[in-house]
A and B are shown apart, each in its own frame.
Chain A
Amino acid sequence: MEENKEQILIRRLLTKEEAAWKELFGNYSGNLAGVCSRYLSGKDDVHDVLQNSFIKMFRSIATFEYRGSGSLKAWMIRITVNEALKHIKQHSGITTNDNLEEFPDIPNDEEPDFEEIPQAAIMKMIRSLPDGYRTVFNLFVFEKKSHKEIAGLLGIAENSSASQFHRAKGLLIQKIKEFEMSKKAQYE
Chain B
Amino acid sequence: MNNRWLNDLHRKMEDHEENVPDGLWEDIKDELFSGEEENGLARGMMLEADDKKESKTISVSKKSTLFYRIGGMAAAVAMLFFTGKLLLEMNTEKTNPKITVHSENADNLKNAGKKITESVKTGKNESVNTETGEKYSGQGNILTEKTHIAVILDKIFNNEAINNKGVSASGEEHNIISLTKEVRPAFHLSPSVDGNPVLKKEQDGGEIFNNHENKLPEKYAVNDKPKISGRQPKKWMLSMLTGNVSSNSSEQKFPGYTSISGSPMTFSDFWISGTDPDPLTEVLLANQSKEVEARIRHKIPVTFGVSVYYNLGKKWGIGTGINYTKLTSELHSGSNSNYIKGDQSIHYIGIPVQVNYNVIQKGRFTGYVTGGVLAEKAVAGKLKTKYIVNDEVQDEQDERLDVKPVQFSVNSAVGLQVKIIDKIGIYAEPGIGYHFKNENQLNTIYKEKPLNFNMKFGIRLLLD
> Smallest CB–CB gap between A4 and chain B, Å?
17
- In whole angstroms, how far apart are the Cα atoms of A44 and B281 in the complex? 29
Q: Interface-forming stretch among B10-18, B56-64, B86-94, B421-429?
A: B10-18
Interface pair A33/B20, CB less than 8 Å apart: yes
- The reply to whether A114 and B12 form a contact with Cβ atoms under 8 Å apart is yes
Interface class of chain A by DSSP: helix
Inter-chain contact B28/A55, CB cutoff 8 Å? yes
Instruction: Give, as a whole number of angstroms, the nearest-CB distance from A65 to chain B.
Output: 6
Shortest distance between the CB of B318 and any CB in chain A (Å): 54
Cβ B32 vs Cβ A62 within 8 A: no
Q: Mark A126-161, 1 if CB is under 8 A from B, else 0.
A: 000000000000001111110001001101000000
Q: Is B157 an interface residue (CB 8 A)?
A: no
**In the complex, A88 has a CB within 8 A of chain B:** no
Contacts of B27 in A (CB 8 A): 47, 51
Digitize A64-98: 1 where CB-to-B-CB distance is under 8 Å, 0 elsewhere: 01011011001001110110000000000000000
Which residues of the other chain, B, contact A47 by a CB distance below 8 angstroms? 21, 24, 27
We find that the number of chain B residues with CB closer than 8 angstroms to chain A is 45
Contact assessment for A70 and B273 in the assembled complex, using a CB-CB cutoff below 8 Å? yes
- Provide the bound-state CA to CA distance between A43 and B18, in Å: 11
Contacts known (A51-B27, A67-B273); A33 close to B281, Cβ less than 8 A: no
B282–A82 CB distance below 8 A = yes
Please report the C-alpha to C-alpha distance between residue A153 and residue B277 in the assembled complex, in whole angstroms. Answer: 12
- In the assembly, what is the distance between CA of A73 and CA of B5, in Å? 24
* Complexed CA–CA distance, A50 and B8 (Å): 26
| Bitwise interface map of B from 269 to 285 toward A, beta carbon under 8 Å scored 1, else 0 | 00111111101011011
B residues less than 8 Å from A67 (CB atoms): 271-273
Task: Compute how far the CA of A169 lies from the CA of B3 in the bound complex, rounded to whole angstroms.
Answer: 10
Asked if B399 is at the interface (CB within 8 A of a chain A CB), the reply is: no
Cβ contacts under 8 Å, B12 to chain A: 114, 119, 122
Whether the Cβ atoms of A152 and B25 lie closer than 8 Å is no
How far, in angstroms, from A140 to B4 measured CA to CA in the complex? 13
A46 CB within 8 Å of chain B: yes
Complex: A78 Cα to B13 Cα, angstroms: 16
Residue pairs across A and B with Cβ atoms less than 8 A apart, 19 shown, are A30-B20, A31-B15, A33-B20, A47-B27, A55-B28, A55-B32, A59-B288, A63-B285, A70-B273, A71-B273, A74-B275, A109-B1, A111-B4, A111-B5, A119-B16, A122-B9, A141-B6, A143-B276, A149-B279
Identify the 6 closest CB pairs spanning chains A and B, nearest first.
A30-B17, A63-B288, A47-B21, A67-B273, A60-B288, A33-B18
